[in-house]
């Protein structure tokens, strides 16, 4: 089961994300990969440490702020020893 992603707040310059880890079975989580893009924008990716369960995505430098824009955001657990 994948992690559950929540949007906690949105401002003109950022999107605050939180997530609950999913069920990775017996394999430990080694990190998370956050994928995001504005609709019709280029896909970007950030790797986050395994103990992190929130992230503030800064979007002010990308032309248009977070408010009033459509975003595609997903988080994936990376498992391994």
Instruction: State residue 39's pLDDT score.
Output: 80
| Distance in angstroms (rounded) separating the CA atoms of residues 64 and 77 | 29
Q: Tell me which residue range forms the domain holding 30.
A: 4-79
We report the CATH number of the domain holding residue 58 as 2.60.40.10
What is the number of structural domains in the chain?
1
pLDDT per position as a tens digit, 8-61: 998 888 899 999 988 877 788 999 999 999 888 899 999 999 999 999 998 865
Place of tokens 């605050």: 16
CB 67 within 8 A of CB 29: no
Residue 70 has pLDDT above 70, yes or no: yes
Indicate the pTM of the whole model.
Answer: 0.83
């Amino acid at each position: 089961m994948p992690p559950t992603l929540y949007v906690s707040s949105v401002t003109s310059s950022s999107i605050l994300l939180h997530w609950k880890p999913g069920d990775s079975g017996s394999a430990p989580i080694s990190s998370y990969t956050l994928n995001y893009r504005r609709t019709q924008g280029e896909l970007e990716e950030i790797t986050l440490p395994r103990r992190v369960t929130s992230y503030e995505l800064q979007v002010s430098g990308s032309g248009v702020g977070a408010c009033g824009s459509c975003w595609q955001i997903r988080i994936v657990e990376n498992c391994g020893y």
